[in-house]
Structures are given as structure tokens and as C-alpha cells.
Structure 1
Amino acid sequence: MCGRFDQNDIARRYIAAFGWADAAYRTQAEPTFNAAPGTYRPVIHMQDGEPAVDDLFWGYRAAWAAAKLPVCVNARLEKLTNNYWGKLLKTGRAVVPANGWYEWTGEKGKRQPWHIHRKDREPIFMLALANFGPFKEHKAESGFVLITADAEGGMVDVHDRRPVVLNAADAATWLDPDISAAQAEMLARQMALGPDAFEWHKVSPEVNYAGRDGAHLVLPIDVPLAD
């Protein structure tokens, strides 16, 4: 799963990777090294055929499911075509840009956070599903979830799930309203970046606290000091 991510740059610099001339920026969220569920984060999507960036609540629950289901922060790639997620796969495809994400290992009470990022330190583009309409009862009615898949290779040593990350060109295709839901799902399955694109290191347990922030949170720990 993905329960925190590092989104420490401004939306305009993330958008630059797409090569778009412009986008509608309606975001006021500040960059953060420790984005947590239940907060509003910049999300890239297409509106009326044009790219846009809006602040959206991290968490989703369909309005009709309020009394039946919990608020989700992730959606499994294997279940995107079911009745719950299928509509959003058609009309609510989105991308959450970031610099990396966090996972935890170890026993409860001794959980060790890890920062996972691209080896080349380029931004990551995590696939998401979102509902951009207004909410009536709960913010999660118009929120987003990150799409996750089984971890592969060495990354399973950190966690058995990972967010689905594409490069900028494929992420732009994911957002294209002219591709079908079936094509979008196939893109997510076939073009997701594998473990060889990433590296990870241990970071301070301070990340465990949702209100903590700062560049020090992403620095590696347990690294031997130079002589």
C-alpha cells in the first residue's frame, strides 16, 4: 500500500515533465515531505480536454456507500474494473506527482519507515482514481485514491504492495480521455515502472507522525560517517 508520500515541489515543476504549454492551476496546497491521508494534495487530471491541477482530498468513499464501506486511500489494480471502481476508471483517471513515497517494515511499535524514489531522482507519477464532483456529506465523496499493485523483485523486502508509477509520457496517456477504461487498465499493467527503476533507504521514525514535515525527513539514516 501507500500511506504517505513525499510531494515537496510545486505543481508547475511537476507539470513541466509532461511538456505541456500550460495547465489550469487551482492548487493552494503547500509542498510537503510528508503527505498523509485526509489532507488535500495537488492532483493532475484532464478537464474539458485540457490539463488541470486541483487540490483533492486523499481518501475516497462513494456517496451511496457511506454506511457500508470505509474510506479508501488505495485501490488495487486487480480490482479496477469492478462495480465500485469501474466508473472512476472511465471518468476519474488522475495522476499524483511526487518525489517518492514511504513504506514501513518491522513489528508494530517498532516500525521502520523507508523512502522509495527513482534512482535518477526524477519525479514519480502515481496513478490515481478521483471524483472531482462536489460532496454532500463527507469530503471523501470527492476525493482520490492511489492505485497499487503487487511489489516485484527486491521491493517486496520493503512492502508487498507499491503504487503504480508511470513515466511522464505514459502518465499523460493515462489521462487521455480518448482511451477506454480497458486500454487504461492495460497501460497501468504493462507500463508500470519496475523495481529496477527505484532505490530506497531508511529514514527517521519522525515520518510516522502525520504533522511532522521538513527536508530532514527524507535523509537516509544508519549511513556510516565518512572518516
Structure 2
Amino acid sequence: MCGRLSQYRGIHDFVAALSMPNALVNSVGEQPLGRYNVAPSTGVALLHLEQAVLHADRVRWGWRPHWAKDRAPPINARVEKVANGAFFRAIWPHRAIAPVDNWFEWVDEGGPKKQPYLVRRRDGAPVLCAAIGQLPDADEGAGELDGFVIITADSAGGMVDIHDRRPVVLNPTLAREWLDPATTRGRAEQMVLLQGEPPDAFEWFRVDCAVGNPRHEGPHIIEPLTAGQ
């Protein structure tokens, strides 16, 4: 987890969910993002604060330090290690929110292929995932080494049946605190370790196996399978 996600609302819908009064520097466009099947290593709309101004940028999903050339860039970071491990040390201070509509998990149900499930908030609100990254500079723009990872935690409750890991999702109040540069590193670690949204904030259902191919795109990707499918 988390290996595929959706961002189909417009960036202003995601910003509204944060309830932030800050001015917005928007480089992702005014129209709905319209991406139902977002794969790793592609650009994802990300929200971050720079000098008290909220920025919306497309940032590559995946990051590794310059010295780790022997492995593919991870797309997720385990919450148990992210704050103190050497691998993510350079980007731990650079916090962001990856606002998504849902994410997908694959479950082995004994068939020829693993069954994909869509996971979303039960209340229909955007999913505000805690993230860190090497983020675009307001003056210099995007850099070729920019990238981000989503922070993940152990699943609990019924979500264990879908996957043993899940994104750390913050409510809007905590998401604003996470983005605030004044939030200390210790407080940020406490938030992602202890204050992510609980399993009962989410619902999940089976979707078509077509989501496994990132070339399949469109609203049909997120439709629940009907009985017998």
C-alpha cells in the first residue's frame, strides 16, 4: 500500500476541504483533475506551504535520496521509521498533503488474479494523506529530483482484510497543523503515529480488474462491481 490512487476533483475542491484562508498558488489548473487511475512515478497534485502561501503543484510520486541509486524510488514511507531513519532524513522536514478521492488495494481471494478494492472516506470528503517530499521551489520552479512519498501505517480493524498497510489520513484540522512550518518535528511525528483517521472513517468495495492497467482511465474505474461480476 498505497500503489494506485484517484484524483478526479478540482484542486479547489481539495483546498476547500482543508478550510485554509491562505492565498493559493495553483500550477495544476482550474479544471477537474479527471484522473481515476494514477500510477506511481507520475505527477500527482500536492499541497504544501511556502512562506505562508499554499501551493498546489504536480510532483512525481516516488522519491529517493541521491545516494540510493541501487533501488527504485519508494512511493510510501513507513510511519514507524520515517522520522528517524537515514533514508528520508533530508525530506522529513518538508511536509505536504496528497489530497485524493480514493486509493486502491489488491486482495488475494483465490482467483486467477488479485481482486482490486477501492477505499474512500465514508463521508465522501477528500482523503488528506500525510506526505513528505523534495518539493518545487517557489522561485526556481520544479526540479528533476523533486518527488514525494505517502506516509503509511499499520491497518487495523476490518481494513486488515484489505491490506496490512494504509495511508496516514489526517482530518482537516490536523492536516493544517501538519502543513504549518511552525509545527515541530516531534509534534509532526506524534500526529502521524497516533492521530490518523480510524478504520471506521472509510469504506471499501470491489472494482473491475481493469484498474490494474494504468492505461485504463475514466469513471468506470471507480464503479463498484455488482453481484455476480
* TM-score, L = length of structure 1: 0.90
Higher deviation after alignment, 95-104 or 215-224: 215-224
For each residue in 1:55-91, what CA deviation from the matched residue of structure 2 results, as whole angstroms up to 9, or x when unmatched? Answer: 000110111222x33210111001112122133121x
Alignment partner for residue 120 of structure 2, among 112, 117, 130?
117
Matches within 5 A, 1:3-82: 3-21=3-21, 22-28=23-29, 30-66=33-69, 68-80=70-82, 81-82=84-85
Matches within 5 A, 1:75-154: 75-80=77-82, 81-90=84-93, 92-106=94-108, 109-132=112-135, 139=144, 141-154=145-158
Task: Look up the SS of the partner of 1:65 in the other structure.
Answer: coil
Comparing both structures, which one devotes a greater share of its residues to helix?
Answer: 1
TM-superposed deviation, 1:133: 5.1
List gaps (5 residues or longer) in structure 1.
none
Contact 2:64–2:87 (CA under 8 A) maintained in structure 1: no
Change in 2 beyond 3 A, CA 1:119/1:133: closer
Task: Look up the SS of the partner of 1:79 in the other structure.
Answer: helix
TM-superposed deviation, 1:110: 0.8
Q: Which whole-Å CA distance do the structure 1 matches of 2:207 and 2:160 have between them?
A: 18
Higher deviation after alignment, 168-177 or 22-31: 22-31
TM-superposed deviation, 1:27: 1.5
Matched residues, number = 219
Alignment partner for residue 205 of structure 2, among 192, 201, 208?
201
Match of 1:218 in 2: 222
TM-superposed deviation, 1:130: 0.7
Q: Which whole-Å CA distance do the structure 2 matches of 1:167 and 1:223 have between them?
A: 33
Change in 2 beyond 3 A, CA 1:167/1:64: same
Task: Look up the SS of the partner of 2:225 in the other structure.
Answer: coil
Match of 2:168 in 1: 164
Matches within 5 A, 1:176-195: 176-195=180-199
TM-superposed deviation, 1:6: 1.3
Q: Which whole-Å CA distance do the structure 2 matches of 1:63 and 1:87 have between them?
A: 10
Letter in 2 for 1:37: P
Q: Work out the percentage of aligned pairs sharing the same amino acid.
A: 34
For each residue in 1:156-214, what CA deviation from the matched residue of structure 2 results, as whole angstroms up to 9, or x when unmatched? Answer: 00100001101111111101101111110101122101111111000000100012111
TM-superposed deviation, 1:47: 1.1
List gaps (5 residues or longer) in structure 2.
138-142
Q: Which runs of 4+ in 1 moved over 4 A?
A: none
* TM-score, L = length of structure 2: 0.90
RMSD over aligned CA atoms reads 2.0
Contact 2:135–2:146 (CA under 8 A) maintained in structure 1: yes
Match of 2:140 in 1: none
Q: Which whole-Å CA distance do the structure 2 matches of 1:76 and 1:30 have between them?
A: 28
Task: Look up the SS of the partner of 2:73 in the other structure.
Answer: coil
Q: Which whole-Å CA distance do the structure 2 matches of 1:114 and 1:5 have between them?
A: 11
Q: Which whole-Å CA distance do the structure 2 matches of 1:131 and 1:3 have between them?
A: 19
Task: Look up the SS of the partner of 1:207 in the other structure.
Answer: helix
TM-superposed deviation, 1:224: 7.0
